[in-house]
Structure 1
Amino acid sequence: MLLDREPVLAAALAEGRLDPIPAPLDLDMPVARRLRLERRALALRVAIGDLAGVFDLSAVTQQLTGFADHALDTAIRTAIEERTPGAEPRGFAAIALGKQGSGELNYSSDIDPILIYDPDTLPLRPREEPEAAAVRIGKRVVELLQARDGDGYVLRVDLRLRPSPEITPIALPIDAAISYYEAQALPWERAAFIRARAAAGDIALGRQFLDTVRPFVWRRALDFGAIGEIRGISRRIRDHHAQGQAFGPGYDLKRGRGGIREAEFFAQIHQLIHGGRDPVLRAPATRVALARLAEAGWIGGDEARALIESYTLLRTIEHRVQMIDDRQTHALPTGDALERVAWLHGLDGSAALLALLAPHVAATGRIYDALDDGAASGLSHDPTRLDAELAEAGFAEPEPARQRIAAWRAGAYPALRSSAAQAALEAVLPTLVPALAAAPEPQAAMLRLDSMLERLPSAINVFRLLEARPALATLLAAILSHAPTLAEELARRPALLDGLIDATALAPVAAVDALIDRMRAGEAGLDYQGRLDHVRRVVGELRFALGAQIVAGTSDPLDVAAGYARVAEAAIAVLAEATIRSFADVHGRVPGSELVILALGRMGGAMLTHASDLDLVYLFTGDFTAESDGAKPLGATLYYNRLAQRVTAALSVATAAGPLYQIDTRLRPSGAQGPLVVTLDSFARYQHEEAWTWEHMALTRARPVFGSAPARAALSAVIADVLTGARTERDVVGDATRMRADMAAHKPAKGPLDAKLLPGGLVDLEFATHVVQLVERSGFDANLGRAIAQLVAEGRMPATMLAAHDILTRLLVTLRLVAPDAAPPGPPTQALIARALGLHDWPAVLAGLAEVRQQVTAFWHELTGEQDE
């Protein structure tokens, strides 16, 4: 029991006295311990006097504040004396803000000083710079006050109210502090200085500072912009701290609606408006300020009395709460703990306590609400008014949107629960809501944003980015409306949104060499895993931006498809190089040999979709009997098979920076049953002598994407030789017909818009093109569009096939983003698809698809001799 540790006070109480606390007699006692003992004794004496009714609220807070001033002053003097013995404690002052500044400290209050110094008078050690000395003094002051031992602590110190606390030292030179407050300070800092007071250290210096910045706080003339700023502070404070503060057990006495903070801010708002002309109104203490405002006629007498009574009661109950275990809390407890608080106040139980508080809380909330003139720049918290605002913004059905916003404001998800996240949310809602309302499918956009917020670790940066870039909010709304694929990625990696800040994000993707340079940038100092993560981040941003180009309508899907392929090729180059270097550190390199990567399928044709796999074949040049020259040598075949596995992992394994690509290596010689890597000679021999028709069809879209120029040229020569005739004769038409039938049986179309697998879709067009290429030994270009164009020019394919290729490819690339299930989307997204295909409406899309499918089917049947069903 604390009283057992204070025998002098206990003896006085036994005699019915509440004597002042004498200072510890041991003058040699360390200062920090002496202050801790003084604080413990004072808090006990004040608490007993408080509960006994001897001390009213003013007496309690004044004694607690007086001790804080004494302790802070003692700590400053001690810190200076320790560093410069015998020096006059000048040139260093503490400006008290908050409740210390107004003389209203709680039992468990922090103190919020601003530490300033005068470089010309601050005591210094030889050859010491004033800034370094001031920072060391400040750190020692904090240490003396905050250090804990068996006797507790003296005071908690919060220095974050100083200007720009994230970048400034803990003690500021007086001239720099003055310059900041005169030129750069924010509106809330004006409000904070209403309660500023020179509390400790060089009081004259502190008063000089406050006298100088007084015009910054107390402006004689307020324009409407300044009044708007002040009302903005009011609304943000009210809305920010009102969430989840329903009156009852757990109610926050300080921050809850109708709580202590609202009474304080009501007074400060009126002081800022009128105190510039009337110095009498500049009282730092809340109740004094309210009384003077009423006397001057600026607020009603009934309002002042109601607020003063409420403030007095709530502060008193706050003290009761803090008496239990010296807790730094402002919330009413729940359960049995609330009963104990009621008993401390002399009430029968928690019901009586809540009944006592309820009318005062309601009165304060009602009076405080009247501050808002209805011209709020943010969205209302009132459901009826918010519904009207949402309807005005463009929501045809505002209720679902209002419910969703209410859930966000209530901190429904972890990313929304911090005070900073709530502040950022309120700031961005006026930008975000109109953007969502203007989206083609507002409710769908709202739901996808909700899903995204649910999975975000933090929403603050996203909100701040959207607030700063309203155009980005509009693009985000479109993405959320149309593109579930992109919305899913954004939910997993919200940093992808950062990539859209630059206007070039909606421009064509750079050439492969430039992309390689971008992916290599920043590699210095990174280990292998760091390089992988860096490439993943760059690729993620680029792919997301390419998808956004389709949603925004700034690029042709054919150009986007080519951009996807360039990004993938650059990623292969950079990651393969990094993997080779890492692998060589252990196993060395195989002399006269290198890894070569061949792309097939869409990657070979340099036309990917957002969801495309990469079909790759790994080869190596040189002698397969050779051995690597590293510390752990390997035979060439084993070396390259292990290396290729590492490259595949680098390209496909997901990390914290996200996934890259699915890699498919089944098109290698002998398929999945064969080795992962073979020599270039083995590949050539296999293609010449053993490959099946389907493998030669795949080879028509083969393109080397990694390796030295000579190695790529050698591989390209092998492919050209095979395709132009040096291959085993096969029944190309018959084999292709059977393969297409098998594929149709085992892999049917996913939906009515499956541009790839529907009869007459891209697969049929690809089969038809490859059959013509192999039979005619002509038109060999890995890019399907260019191959068709060449065959059309030679009269080997009808001209309609080129238009069919473009429509089907545009549709496939677009649907992978906006309708990955290949089912018809809603009307707004239908309009986006029509725009992407260069058609005027959705019926034109359906008619165009039907027409090209019919044309492709007819050509396929003409090639194979099949009859139309």
Structure 2
Amino acid sequence: MNRSGSPPPPGTDAAADAAALKIGGTARLVPLDAGKAEAWLADLARRAEAEDCPRLLALLARTGDADRARLGAVLDLSSHLNAVMLSSPDFLERLFDTEPRARIAEIIASLGTLPVAGASESETMALLRQAKREVALLVALRELFGAADGRETTADLSDLAEGAVGAAVRFALLDLHNREKLALPDPAHPEKGCGLFVLGMGKLGGRELNYSSDIDLIVFFDPDVAAIPDPDEAVEMFSKLVRRLIRMIGERTGDGYVFRTDLRLRPDPGAMPLAIPVPAAITYYEASGRNWERAAMIKARVVAGDAQAGAAFLDEITPFVWRKYLDFAAIAEIQSMKDRIDRHRGFDGIGVAGHNVKLGPGGIREVEFFAQTQQLIAGGRAPELRLRRTEETLSALAGGGWITPGVATELTGSYWFLRRVEHAIQMVADEQTHTLPEDAEGLERVARLSGFADLAGFSESLLPTLTRVEALFSSLFAQRTEPDDALPKVGGFLGGEDEAGVAAYLAGLGFQRPGDIARILRGWGAGRVRATRAEATRRQLAIVLPALLEAFAKAEDPDAAMAAFDGFVSRLPAGLQFFSLLASNPRLLDLLALVISAAPRLAETISHRPHVFDALLDPAFYREVPTADLMAERLSAFLADSDGYEERLVRLRLFASEQKFLVGARLLSGAIEGEVAGAVYSAIADVVLAAAFDAVEKEFARVHGTVPGGRAALLGMGRLGSHELTEGSDVDLLLLYDHDEGAEESVGARPLATTTYYSRLTQRLIAALTAPMGEGILYEVDFRLRPSGNKGPLATHLGAFRRYQENEAWTWERMALTRSRPIAGDASMQTQAEATVREILALPRDPVAMRQDVAAMRARIARDKPARGALDLKLIAGGLIDLEFIAQWAILAGHVPPALIGRPTAEVLRALEVAGVLPNGNFPLILGSSADAYTRIIQLTRLGPGHAHTVEALPRGLSERVAEALGLASPEAIEPTVATTAAAVNETFTRLLPMDREDGV
């Protein structure tokens, strides 16, 4: 009896079945060269005989057998499959007993038993490669014979990759455990509780892996699991594990390779380690994640390692991937990604020879982008669209009415046809390519592997498929990318028919380059910018245009103002509402012209949300000075129907942006002055930060529970703490917490140690405030005023805070506390934190040493950060720092009441002026009024272009507004006035805080 057992008696049905391969399928494969196919079959017969494969040998002897003919075609058409069959004919011999699908499942299941006890790394690698070679042959034969479609092929290949990665990860984890680098809770199941998990991305994540695909992986780990003995070494340890994984899976040995691996989809691959701690990843995605990374995460799936940790991570980044609202730029980025691919690859049309069926026009990527774009648009509100597989997504889109059933059916059929062609291209030589050959023979080979009798039939199917896909994909972006020049022109200036007349009119208004301005107007009229493509928009523009031109003609440089407005118009997502508003309310034009020409920060807000101009129509707008209570009332109403954490963050951004715009508009119009603006900007921050902290706390507690007796309070520091924020100010924050004595960890689904809990809570808060959503960021955040600065933990226990301030803090740290106040968190904790700060600041200090410390700090700043111009009011000698230091010293020294802790600088200085401690001398007591003047200048200049440190660098309209705020006749008087004030302040500072030591530090 041979290894296959005794054959059944000849002439029986069982004998016929035993003599046939169990591949199945009815596809007919045609070789390129029948003679060569026969020669290859003879070679295979010799190998079958040598390897004791009698039934395969018998099959090859039957010249009329259909399976024999198909094997011959495969041998002729694919050098890769040829090599596998000739080297391992036993793979085919097994198919007389076992169906390929069952054998594939058996092999993949065997990977789950790896590593074998006592097996070396090289032995494990050999087993993985053997499994890959056999599965690769079987899935190819099933698809080529017509026994399986692309759905089964891609799923089998994906399962193979997942099994291989899992086996390699288990081997590496056990090795770390045996070397006492890890303390696995269950070595029999190494993944369980190990903390490390591998995400399969792209086609692996979607179980759509192509025949010769590499696999996209990202490796993360939870640094807080008990299995990691030394968290400080975890990044290096797990990064080494990842390198080992890559070698075990991807290194080409005498047995071949398993899968090429690609880790470039991980966050910031140029800077991040190969294994990334979960907190770092969460911070990255929430603060810096880009739209293409959101799209990539749609398919992310845990394929190896700690499944529980992986599931928790994917749940935690759900708000990053699935947003309730999406800005236009995110959708445009999908088109931009495709455009960049086309430019990089040189794609410029549809064809057969040399066409890339994945990335080229009409290719696989366009079907995937079509589905993912719709998911990004709608997936936040429609969880049923949160699917990984392309076909399933298209079906769900049709089911939800986002696309028609016909489009879904057409794209699905096209997708699988293109995947079949892609596999045929790759089966030739097992190369990771998606490009059809240029030569006729190569094309004929791919055509026949794709199931066609010849190239002509293949081309007749491929070209219409590519054309249909390209048309459907392009339809997604047609309204966004193609101006409708066919719409009729409206408005005499916009049509450009009378160029000479238009130029003369513009010159008469005062424009120095009327030809350039006329070209801008013609561009608007031709719909060359997105905002003016609609006929209705151009009609409204034509109505308002004469008044608009007159308004911009009043600017100091009308041509520059119009150029700036053109840039503003080009950023508008749509123009109808905006131009209709102006047409109905021409009195807004002067303010608009000032905003566009002098206040780019405000212009940016209008360009994204033109409806903010609506508030300027309210007669109460110029009289109202919103209080914190009024802000809180409005925010509460705005958030009332918000749906979940992510939408709450979006609405906070919208509210803050719009409210800050209204403050800036009031300030620019002269309705309020700088000292009032600082209070209102701070009130906006107060209510928004309180709402954000409340949302973050609740969302964090949902995952990690709460700490017994835990209380936290957020303190505003710096300009926020003293009610002096400006447009665009960072917010300085400090988080203090307390909890029941003996509380060691939170109580919840994923408990954390108390210190970790509050540090992670603070990280989540930072991410919530700084994540660049479609509506921008909420605030830039700075926590460096915490104990020990950047070296200390993000969150500070109240007791530790007190001890540090009493025993270790520098004078400058106590000075910072004079501008602190609680703004959010538990009410009792806010009260306790405020009392603690007052007690710390009331501690007795050496007045001489304190005076010298303040003076030395000012000297060091003067040495290290010289002023950059006459209006660099923070840094000039006698500038804002001098006044702030005097005020902070006055509180520390007890010269003013403790009630002034956290009050504006001018208010503290006025109290100091009447305290009887100022030195005698022949200089005016101008501290409070000087602070007011500086505040007025800074609040206005912060609306203007960045880095404007002289009057000359300011737009004329803005410098005129500054002069008005100071009661000066013209902008030319600003710098002399500042110089006089600074000299007096500098003299006051020197008399109050003389520099008695020489080090200046």
In the superposition, the TM-score normalised over structure 2's length comes to 0.47
Q: 2:633 aligns with which of 517, 528, 531?
A: 517
Q: Which amino acid aligns with 1:609?
A: T
Work out the CA distance in 1 between the residues paired with 2:497 and 2:801: 69
The answer to whether 1:563 aligns with 2:680 is yes
The answer to whether 1:383 aligns with 2:482 is no
The alignment partner of 1:683 has SS state of helix
Corresponding position of 1:817: 943
Corresponding position of 1:490: 606
Work out the CA distance in 2 between the residues paired with 1:525 and 1:847: 52
**Residues 727, 681 of structure 1: CA spacing in aligned structure 2 closer, same or farther, 3 A cutoff?**
farther
Q: Is the 8 A contact 1:779 1:788 kept in 2?
A: no
**Residues 645, 474 of structure 1: CA spacing in aligned structure 2 closer, same or farther, 3 A cutoff?**
same
The answer to whether 1:793 aligns with 2:793 is no
> Once the 2 structures are TM-superposed, how far is the Cα of residue 757 of structure 1 from its aligned partner?
1.1
The answer to whether 1:398 aligns with 2:527 is no
The answer to whether 1:829 aligns with 2:958 is yes
**Residues 506, 650 of structure 1: CA spacing in aligned structure 2 closer, same or farther, 3 A cutoff?**
farther
1:282-293 to 2 correspondence within 5 Å?
none
Corresponding position of 1:228: none
Work out the CA distance in 2 between the residues paired with 1:623 and 1:762: 43
**Residues 547, 473 of structure 1: CA spacing in aligned structure 2 closer, same or farther, 3 A cutoff?**
same
Work out the CA distance in 1 between the residues paired with 2:846 and 2:750: 42
Superimposed CA distance per residue, residues 675-701 of structure 1 (whole angstroms, 9 cap, x where no aligned partner): 011111221121111110010111111
Q: Which of the pair has more CA radius of gyration?
A: 1
Work out the CA distance in 1 between the residues paired with 2:950 and 2:543: 38
> Once the 2 structures are TM-superposed, how far is the Cα of residue 624 of structure 1 from its aligned partner?
6.5
Corresponding position of 2:647: 530
The alignment partner of 1:431 has SS state of helix
The alignment partner of 2:667 has SS state of helix
> Once the 2 structures are TM-superposed, how far is the Cα of residue 570 of structure 1 from its aligned partner?
0.8
The answer to whether 1:550 aligns with 2:677 is no
Corresponding position of 2:929: 803
Corresponding position of 2:776: 658
**Residues 526, 726 of structure 1: CA spacing in aligned structure 2 closer, same or farther, 3 A cutoff?**
farther
Q: 2:704 aligns with which of 579, 587, 604?
A: 587
Q: 2:830 aligns with which of 712, 726, 749?
A: 712
Work out the CA distance in 1 between the residues paired with 2:642 and 2:528: 41
> Once the 2 structures are TM-superposed, how far is the Cα of residue 485 of structure 1 from its aligned partner?
2.7
**Residues 733, 461 of structure 1: CA spacing in aligned structure 2 closer, same or farther, 3 A cutoff?**
same
Work out the CA distance in 1 between the residues paired with 2:532 and 2:829: 54
**Residues 827, 424 of structure 1: CA spacing in aligned structure 2 closer, same or farther, 3 A cutoff?**
closer
| Gaps in structure 2 of 5+ consecutive residues | 1-404, 408-487, 919-923
The alignment partner of 1:633 has SS state of coil
Q: Is the 8 A contact 2:736 2:833 kept in 1?
A: no
Work out the CA distance in 1 between the residues paired with 2:944 and 2:651: 28
> Once the 2 structures are TM-superposed, how far is the Cα of residue 556 of structure 1 from its aligned partner?
1.0
The answer to whether 1:597 aligns with 2:705 is no
Work out the CA distance in 2 between the residues paired with 1:597 and 1:726: 26
The answer to whether 1:646 aligns with 2:764 is yes
> Once the 2 structures are TM-superposed, how far is the Cα of residue 534 of structure 1 from its aligned partner?
0.8
> Once the 2 structures are TM-superposed, how far is the Cα of residue 728 of structure 1 from its aligned partner?
8.4
Work out the CA distance in 2 between the residues paired with 1:376 and 1:753: 45
Work out the CA distance in 1 between the residues paired with 2:628 and 2:741: 31
1:242-253 to 2 correspondence within 5 Å?
none
1:236-635 to 2 correspondence within 5 Å?
381-393=497-509, 395=511, 398-523=514-639, 524-623=641-740, 625-626=742-743, 627-635=745-753
Work out the CA distance in 2 between the residues paired with 1:519 and 1:390: 45
Corresponding position of 1:696: 814
Q: Which amino acid aligns with 1:823?
A: T
Q: 1:735 aligns with which of 846, 853, 858?
A: 853
> Once the 2 structures are TM-superposed, how far is the Cα of residue 453 of structure 1 from its aligned partner?
2.1
Q: Which amino acid aligns with 1:851?
A: T
**Residues 703, 678 of structure 1: CA spacing in aligned structure 2 closer, same or farther, 3 A cutoff?**
same
**Residues 624, 535 of structure 1: CA spacing in aligned structure 2 closer, same or farther, 3 A cutoff?**
farther
Higher relative contact order structure (alpha carbons within 8 Å, sequence separation ≥ 6) = 2
Q: Is the 8 A contact 1:595 1:620 kept in 2?
A: yes
Corresponding position of 1:671: 789
Superimposed CA distance per residue, residues 189-220 of structure 1 (whole angstroms, 9 cap, x where no aligned partner): xxxxxxxxxxxxxxxxxxxxxxxxxxxxxxxx
Q: Which amino acid aligns with 1:690?
A: E
Q: Which amino acid aligns with 2:581?
A: L
Work out the CA distance in 2 between the residues paired with 1:809 and 1:518: 27
**Residues 624, 757 of structure 1: CA spacing in aligned structure 2 closer, same or farther, 3 A cutoff?**
farther
Work out the CA distance in 1 between the residues paired with 2:526 and 2:877: 51
Q: Which amino acid aligns with 1:536?
A: R
Work out the CA distance in 1 between the residues paired with 2:625 and 2:756: 37
Identify which range, 469-478 or 436-445, moves more after superposition.
Answer: 436-445
> Once the 2 structures are TM-superposed, how far is the Cα of residue 763 of structure 1 from its aligned partner?
0.7
**Residues 443, 656 of structure 1: CA spacing in aligned structure 2 closer, same or farther, 3 A cutoff?**
same
Corresponding position of 2:247: none
**Residues 635, 727 of structure 1: CA spacing in aligned structure 2 closer, same or farther, 3 A cutoff?**
farther
Q: Is the 8 A contact 1:688 1:726 kept in 2?
A: no
Work out the CA distance in 1 between the residues paired with 2:993 and 2:685: 35
- Equivalenced residue count is 502
The alignment partner of 2:748 has SS state of coil
Work out the CA distance in 1 between the residues paired with 2:524 and 2:599: 23
Work out the CA distance in 2 between the residues paired with 1:864 and 1:529: 50
**Residues 837, 514 of structure 1: CA spacing in aligned structure 2 closer, same or farther, 3 A cutoff?**
same
> Once the 2 structures are TM-superposed, how far is the Cα of residue 509 of structure 1 from its aligned partner?
4.1
Corresponding position of 1:160: none
> Once the 2 structures are TM-superposed, how far is the Cα of residue 581 of structure 1 from its aligned partner?
1.6
Superimposed CA distance per residue, residues 404-451 of structure 1 (whole angstroms, 9 cap, x where no aligned partner): 212322333333334444334323313322222234442232111111
Q: Is the 8 A contact 1:508 1:563 kept in 2?
A: no
Work out the CA distance in 2 between the residues paired with 1:505 and 1:611: 22
The alignment partner of 1:705 has SS state of strand
Superimposed CA distance per residue, residues 356-388 of structure 1 (whole angstroms, 9 cap, x where no aligned partner): xxxxxxxxxxxx99xx9xx97988741122123
**Residues 656, 826 of structure 1: CA spacing in aligned structure 2 closer, same or farther, 3 A cutoff?**
closer
> Once the 2 structures are TM-superposed, how far is the Cα of residue 806 of structure 1 from its aligned partner?
0.8
The answer to whether 1:858 aligns with 2:975 is no
**Residues 643, 505 of structure 1: CA spacing in aligned structure 2 closer, same or farther, 3 A cutoff?**
farther
Superimposed CA distance per residue, residues 55-95 of structure 1 (whole angstroms, 9 cap, x where no aligned partner): xxxxxxxxxxxxxxxxxxxxxxxxxxxxxxxxxxxxxxxxx
> Once the 2 structures are TM-superposed, how far is the Cα of residue 792 of structure 1 from its aligned partner?
0.9
The alignment partner of 2:890 has SS state of helix
**Residues 565, 649 of structure 1: CA spacing in aligned structure 2 closer, same or farther, 3 A cutoff?**
same
Q: Is the 8 A contact 1:508 1:560 kept in 2?
A: no
Q: Which amino acid aligns with 1:559?
A: V
Q: Is the 8 A contact 1:440 1:481 kept in 2?
A: no
Q: Is the 8 A contact 2:895 2:915 kept in 1?
A: no
Corresponding position of 2:874: 756
State percent identity of aligned pairs.
Answer: 35
Superimposed CA distance per residue, residues 818-842 of structure 1 (whole angstroms, 9 cap, x where no aligned partner): 2532232254432211112233322
Superimposed CA distance per residue, residues 456-487 of structure 1 (whole angstroms, 9 cap, x where no aligned partner): 33233322222222122221111112212322
Once superposed, what is the RMSD of the aligned Cα atoms? 3.1
**Residues 525, 607 of structure 1: CA spacing in aligned structure 2 closer, same or farther, 3 A cutoff?**
closer
Q: Is the 8 A contact 2:821 2:834 kept in 1?
A: yes
Work out the CA distance in 1 between the residues paired with 2:558 and 2:535: 27
Q: Is the 8 A contact 2:708 2:746 kept in 1?
A: yes
Superimposed CA distance per residue, residues 620-664 of structure 1 (whole angstroms, 9 cap, x where no aligned partner): 122364233322222322222111111122222221122221100
Corresponding position of 1:128: none
